């Protein structure tokens, strides 16, 4: 089954972030766990969670099937690890673009591109978060880490505001990547502008950046 959407173009922020995490690629590495993680990500991108298994993941990584279980308990546990690596890559991309003073619209486009490249994976994440307690708990834990980062970026945000912005960011990225606005006969430009506004609310404030650069600051 082919990928739902093309991979990010080379040198794009989304491509750089995914490559940094080793996701969606099968670049040569020697670490067994990393090779399995990369292979699992590639399987989930190509086939989704339901249409692959641990044997296929192990073979894609170049190992015998039993090797998988020396590193991961089962398919859902490696899915959780892929999710965490993907979210960390996306957050690293966001921080890098903020550091470069990229405009909100540019950041929005890069984020939607990243979600589009992992479209099938994101679909199954949303489904499994409803159906599987482990995935739901893992997603919540990821969001708690992101909330802590948002408080560092923008101390004026409380948890309720930050969580609302975070969910809006996720939902708009997924909806734009899925073409939900095109289903309504719309270009999605209004949604992209709304996403850019959310991103501006997430953008680190100057006082937070000064604090982060102060020697001895925590």
Q: Per-residue DSSP letters for 84-110?
A: HHHHHHHHHHHHHHHHTT--HHHHHHH
Residue-level pLDDT at 30: 73
Does the residue 213 lie in any domain?
no
Does the residue 216 lie in any domain?
no
Least Cα distance to 95 among 81, 84, 110 occurs for 110
Least Cα distance to 122 among 149, 87, 77, 93 occurs for 87
pTM: 0.81
Give 78-126 pLDDT, tens digit per residue: 999 999 999 999 999 999 999 999 999 999 999 999 999 999 999 999 9
Does the residue 78 lie in any domain?
yes
Does the residue 45 lie in any domain?
yes
Can you tell me the distance from the alpha carbon of 59 to that of 56, in angstroms, rounded to the nearest whole number?
Answer: 5
Can you tell me the distance from the alpha carbon of 38 to that of 44, in angstroms, rounded to the nearest whole number?
Answer: 10
Our count of domains for the chain comes to: 1
Can you tell me whether residue 85 is helix, strand or coil? helix
CATH of the domain at 76: 1.10.357.10
Domain region containing 133: 13-207
Q: Beta-carbon neighbour count of residue 30 at 10 Å?
A: 6
Can you tell me whether residue 198 is helix, strand or coil? helix
Does the residue 6 lie in any domain?
no
Can you tell me the distance from the alpha carbon of 87 to that of 92, in angstroms, rounded to the nearest whole number?
Answer: 8
Q: What's the token pair of residue 144?
A: 């708690």
Report the percentage of the chain scoring pLDDT > 90.
80
Residue that has been written with the tokens 């489904």 in this structure: 127
Give 53-87 pLDDT, tens digit per residue: 999 999 999 999 999 999 999 999 999 999 999 99
Give 112-167 pLDDT, tens digit per residue: 999 999 999 999 999 999 999 999 999 999 999 999 999 999 999 999 999 999 99
């Amino acid at each position: 089954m082919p990928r739902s959407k093309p991979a990010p173009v080379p040198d794009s922020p989304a491509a750089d972030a995914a490559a940094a995490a080793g996701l969606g690629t099968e670049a040569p590495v020697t670490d067994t766990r990393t090779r399995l993680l990369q292979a699992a990500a590639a399987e989930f991108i190509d086939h989704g969670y339901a249409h692959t298994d641990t044997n296929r993941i192990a073979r894609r990584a170049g190992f015998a099937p039993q090797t998988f279980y020396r590193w991961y308990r089962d398919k859902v546990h490696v899915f959780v690890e892929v999710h965490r690596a993907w979210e960390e890559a996306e957050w690293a991309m966001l921080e890098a673009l903020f550091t470069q003073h990229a405009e909100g619209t540019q950041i929005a486009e890069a984020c939607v591109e990243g979600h589009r490249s992992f479209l099938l994976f994101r679909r199954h994440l949303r489904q499994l978060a409803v159906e599987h307690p482990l995935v739901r708990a893992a997603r919540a834990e990821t969001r708690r880490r992101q909330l802590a980062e948002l408080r560092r970026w923008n101390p004026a945000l409380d948890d309720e505001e930050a969580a609302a912005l975070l969910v809006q960011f996720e939902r708009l990225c997924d909806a734009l990547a899925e073409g939900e606005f095109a289903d309504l006969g719309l270009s999605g430009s209004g949604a992209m502008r709304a996403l850019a506004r959310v991103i501006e609310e997430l953008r680190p404030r100057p006082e937070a950046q000064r604090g982060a650069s102060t020697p001895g600051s925590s």
